[in-house]
Amino acid sequence: MEKVVSVTDLKKTFDKKPVISGITFDVFRGEIFGFLGPNGAGKTTSMRIILGLLKADSGSALVFENSLETSDKTRARVGVLFENNGLFDKLSAYENLKYYAELYGIPDVEERIVELLEFTDLKSRKDTLVGTFSTGMKRKLGIARAILHRPEVLFLDEPTSTLDPEAQKMVRDLILHLSEDESMTVFLSSHNLDEVQKICSRVAILHGGRIKALDSVENLRKNSGVTNLNITLSDSLQSEQARFVVSTMQDVSDFKKTGHGFSIALSGKSASGVISGLCSAGINIEEVVKGKRSLEDIYIEVMKEEAEL
């Protein structure tokens, strides 16, 4: 597969403090790549170096085999949306897009603007001042602005932060459409684990300036070595007794109470051993379902391992 982004042994310090400590990864054409990590992990610094907005201390960050720091031709193939949408509140949605379209020198400006307003479901608001838009509407128009020039790769920095659940879904749907129907490569920097799990093909988990995990979401969930066990009780009042019983078992963790039962994480111990132990303690079980770990579970595991080092 063609490499769109190629980062090799990238390092960056601020005031002699390492912010990025030798990260290496590739992003391939057509995928939605999730770049995960807590605040201060180095996500935004990494993205700014890739985009040529910051200079690395060492290593390389290439897009289409070129540095965006020096290649205007390659920059024209890239779209960017940071947390700020880059919009003018005192201009209408149409006027904002026309302003940027003229900066890009886009041919058939009217046709492209109408196309994007339809794509983002903002056509009926084209003459409305952006300052009156909701946060979700501004984000959708921000995405329209970022893809005006039909970029081949789109960099998004926390695109759904501050949005309500409905607006988050609208933005996720737009991103999926760009990838699936427009064949656009998307580099998504986020700490929204649910969002990343739903739309990203591969993820890198960054912590302390280092990549702690890098794989497809499915492989990370499959290879974590931990199984989730969801247990429904015949009598939900026994959940506290069940919590005490499983707390005495080795390789069992993450007890979480649910509506009529609980879930636990198993590493090493068999499900049959857990069920047998609960039954021996007089816990009445109605149903047991095995499940894979969520991306959130894996992320928390990585953060715990890092904290213990």
* Helix residue ranges, H only, 204-255: 217-222, 239-247
* pLDDT at 269 (0 to 100): 64
Q: Which domains does the chain have, with CATH numbers?
A: 3-221 (3.40.50.300), 225-292 (3.30.70.920)
Q: From CA 168, how far away is CA 32, in angstroms rounded? A: 16
Cβ-contact 2, 28 below 8 angstroms: yes
Q: What is the DSSP track for 125-164?
A: GTTSBGGGS-HHHHHHHHHHHHTTT--SEEEEESTTTT--
The pLDDT of 223-249, averaged and rounded, is: 87
Q: Give the amino acid at 130.
A: V
CA angle 193, 63, 20 (to 5 degrees): 55
Q: Give the amino acid at 82.
A: F
Q: From CA 77, how far away is CA 152, in angstroms rounded? A: 5
Cβ-proximal residues to 50 (8 Å cutoff; 6+ apart), any chain? 5, 7, 61, 63, 68, 155, 187
The pTM for the full model equals 0.80
Greater confidence, 52 or 170? 52
The pLDDT of 75-103, averaged and rounded, is: 94
Q: Which of 169, 176, 179 shows the shortest CA–CA distance to 28? A: 179
* pLDDT at 41 (0 to 100): 86
Cα Rg of the chain, angstroms: 23
Q: What is the DSSP track for 29-67?
A: TT-EEEEE--TTSSHHHHHHHHTTSS--SEEEEEETTB-
Q: From CA 264, how far away is CA 253, in angstroms rounded? A: 6
Greater confidence, 226 or 138? 138
Q: Band of the pLDDT at 96, cuts 50, 70, 90?
A: very high
pLDDT digits (tens, 9 = 90+) for 132-154: 999 999 999 999 999 999 999 99
Q: Give the bridge partners for 29, in sequence order.
A: none
Q: Is residue 272 scored above 90 in pLDDT?
A: no
Residue with tokens 């039909």: 150
The pLDDT of 91-95, averaged and rounded, is: 97
Cβ-proximal residues to 140 (8 Å cutoff; 6+ apart), any chain? 120, 121, 122, 170, 171, 174
C-beta atoms surrounding 259 within 10 Å: 8
